[in-house]
């Protein structure tokens, strides 16, 4: 007996069912994307906030690290603090040198033999700058420990300026400038805390009030302060003259905020930076009498070596006298120049040496230049002697 099998015909989803499924799927996906979007925004907010806080803290570290050095290796006549306002602070300090033996020779904080002279020496009246954020031109004189040379303490300027790249119209950048070099960005996205200035200053009032025994905040009426006289500590920069106020600074108070949080609360960053070098007397340690100058060197052009060969006898206090000579310092300039700039070399004193020599291969050949050389001695104070007689040599 043959049985026939009947099959139930399969049917597809109706249009209504398809539409309902699509609507449900759309609702689920919209919810998922919405959740994802909220999470992404939250992540971005946290990441941005973290970046802003780290940015602000980096500004704090740089300011604290460098402002504390104000006055380092500054010669007697040179200003320690140069300019101070509510958004600009400029000071002199020997942060950097390109002399390899600076640890013993100059006392600079950092040594970079590849740094240019523009980064590693004092500003001169030949190339003054206008302090950023002001109309004050500096320097008013050339500063050196030896007449005719250039000092080693650079001018460092920190200043706040509106941030043109930030969405917040109230945002500022913290900039750093050394001498006449281009300003560098230290931190951005910073804001002023209500009406509190970015920079406030504390000073020693004892010069103006003999009964004062504690630091006081600089009155706003005193700002801006500038070292408006060429030579520090000599008339008219004495007594209670206005120009002496900036020398009494002992600390810089810095206040700003990283940014406004999404909930409206703010994170205020406020700290005090002491300047111990400015309060100290500018004096070298006693190590004997000022060093006696050496004999003038001889200078001879050597075509085979393509260099100027210099030689000189040992100084009076090298192996005799006070016997405190540490090194000999050489300068070179083109004939007609009025200053000696940075030394080209230092040669350490060696016990028992009667004659010293140096090979100068840094001259230009083929221009028939007349070069001049001078020599000085440095002792353990570490003072430099006066410069020995100028000697010249023509490099064909």
- CATH number for the domain spanning 338: value is 2.60.40.10
Is 119 within a domain? yes
The pLDDT tens digits along the chain (396 residues) read 445 444 455 555 677 667 767 777 777 777 666 656 655 554 444 444 445 555 556 668 889 989 999 988 888 789 999 999 999 999 999 888 877 654 445 567 788 888 888 888 899 999 999 999 999 999 999 987 666 677 789 999 999 999 988 878 888 999 999 999 999 999 888 899 988 999 999 999 999 888 888 999 999 999 999 999 999 888 999 999 999 999 999 999 999 987 655 555 567 889 999 998 887 655 444 456 678 889 999 999 999 999 999 999 999 888 888 788 888 999 999 999 988 888 888 898 888 899 999 999 999 999 999 999 999 998 876 678 888 888 999 999
Contacts of residue 58, Cβ cutoff 8 Å, sequence gap at least 6: 186, 187
Mark which of 247, 279, 311 sits at the end of a domain.
Answer: 279
Q: Are 273 and 367 in contact (CB under 8 A)?
A: no
H-helix segments, 193-346: 276-279
The pLDDT assigned to 50 comes to 44
Token readout for 19 is 């539409």
Is 110 within a domain? yes
In this structure, the answer to whether residues 68 and 211 fall within a common structural domain is yes
Round to whole Å and give the CA distance between 6 and 17: 27
In this structure, the answer to whether residues 119 and 219 fall within a common structural domain is yes
Q: Are 252 and 275 in contact (CB under 8 A)?
A: yes
- 3 state SS of 26: helix
- 3 state SS of 203: strand
In this structure, the answer to whether residues 264 and 374 fall within a common structural domain is no
Is 39 within a domain? no
Round to whole Å and give the CA distance between 327 and 358: 13
The domain tally of the chain equals: 2
- 3 state SS of 50: helix
pLDDT in tens, 183-242: 999 988 889 998 899 999 999 999 988 888 899 999 999 999 999 999 988 899 999 999
In this structure, the answer to whether residues 232 and 316 fall within a common structural domain is no
Is 15 within a domain? no
For the entire predicted model, the pTM comes to 0.67
In this structure, the answer to whether residues 229 and 81 fall within a common structural domain is yes
- 3 state SS of 158: strand
96-97 and 110-111 as β-strands: parallel, antiparallel, unpaired?
parallel
What are the beta bridge partners of residue 254?
Answer: 199, 271
Mark which of 279, 311, 343 sits at the end of a domain.
Answer: 279
- C-alpha distance from residue 325 to each of 103, 118, 136, 264, 291 (Å): 16, 29, 41, 65, 8
Q: How many CB atoms lie within 10 A of CB 102?
A: 22
In this structure, the answer to whether residues 93 and 140 fall within a common structural domain is yes
Domain that holds residue 82: 50-279
Round to whole Å and give the CA distance between 181 and 115: 12
- C-alpha distance from residue 313 to each of 327, 343, 357, 369, 393 (Å): 13, 19, 9, 26, 19
Is 391 within a domain? yes
Q: Computed over its alpha carbons, how large is the radius of gyration of the chain?
A: 33
Round to whole Å and give the CA distance between 381 and 107: 12
DSSP secondary structure letter of residue 136: -
The pLDDT assigned to 152 comes to 83
Q: How many CB atoms lie within 10 A of CB 82?
A: 24
In this structure, the answer to whether residues 59 and 158 fall within a common structural domain is yes
Per the listing, tokens 């200035």 go with 197
Is 5 within a domain? no
Mark which of 279, 308, 341 sits at the end of a domain.
Answer: 279
The pLDDT assigned to 130 comes to 97
In this structure, the answer to whether residues 237 and 313 fall within a common structural domain is no
In this structure, the answer to whether residues 109 and 190 fall within a common structural domain is yes
Q: How far apart are the first and last CA of the chain?
A: 128
Is 226 within a domain? yes
Is 313 within a domain? yes
In this structure, the answer to whether residues 270 and 243 fall within a common structural domain is yes
In this structure, the answer to whether residues 264 and 321 fall within a common structural domain is no
Round to whole Å and give the CA distance between 253 and 92: 18
In this structure, the answer to whether residues 201 and 243 fall within a common structural domain is yes
Round to whole Å and give the CA distance between 233 and 217: 23
- C-alpha distance from residue 348 to each of 73, 252, 332, 380 (Å): 21, 40, 18, 12
The pLDDT assigned to 55 comes to 59
């Amino acid at each position: 007996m043959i049985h026939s099998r009947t099959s139930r015909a399969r049917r597809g989803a109706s249009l209504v069912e398809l539409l309902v499924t699509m609507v449900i799927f759309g609702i689920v996906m919209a919810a998922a994307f919405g959740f994802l979007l909220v999470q992404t925004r939250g992540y971005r907010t946290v990441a941005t906030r973290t970046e802003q806080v780290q940015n602000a803290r980096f500004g704090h570290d740089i300011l604290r690290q460098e402002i504390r050095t104000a006055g380092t290796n500054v010669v007697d006549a040179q200003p320690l603090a140069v300019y101070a306002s509510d958004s600009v602070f400029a000071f002199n300090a020997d942060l950097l040198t390109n002399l390899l033996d600076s640890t013993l020779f100059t006392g600079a904080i950092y040594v970079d033999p590849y740094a240019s002279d523009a980064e590693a020496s004092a500003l001169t009246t030949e190339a003054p700058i206008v302090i950023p954020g002001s109309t004050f031109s500096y320097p008013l004189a050339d500063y050196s420990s030896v007449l005719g040379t250039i000092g080693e303490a650079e001018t460092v300027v920190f200043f706040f300026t509106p941030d043109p790249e930030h969405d917040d119209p109230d945002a500022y950048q913290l900039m750093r400038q050394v001498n006449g070099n281009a300003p560098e960005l230290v931190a951005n996205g910073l804001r002023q805390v209500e009406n509190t200035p970015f920079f406030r200053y504390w000073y020693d009032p004892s010069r103006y009030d003999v009964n004062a025994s504690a630091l006081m905040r600089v009155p706003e009426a005193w700002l801006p302060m500038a070292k408006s006289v060429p030579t520090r500590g000599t008339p008219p920069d004495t007594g209670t003259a206005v120009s002496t106020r900036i020398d009494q600074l002992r600390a810089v108070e810095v206040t700003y905020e990283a940014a406004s949080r999404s909930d409206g609360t703010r994170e205020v960053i406020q700290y005090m930076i002491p300047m111990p070098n400015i309060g100290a007397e500018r004096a070298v340690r006693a190590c004997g009498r000022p060093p006696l100058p050496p004999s003038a060197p001889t200078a001879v052009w050597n075509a085979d070596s393509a260099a100027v060969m210099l030689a000189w006898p040992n100084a009076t206090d090298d192996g005799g006298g006070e016997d405190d000579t540490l090194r000999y310092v050489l300068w070179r300039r083109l004939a007609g120049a009025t200053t000696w700039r940075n030394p080209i070399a230092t040669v350490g004193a060696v016990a028992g040496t009667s004659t010293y020599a140096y090979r100068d291969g840094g001259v230009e050949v083929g221009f028939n230049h007349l070069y001049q050389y001078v020599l000085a001695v440095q002792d353990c104070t570490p003072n430099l002697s006066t410069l020995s007689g100028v000697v010249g040599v023509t490099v064909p």
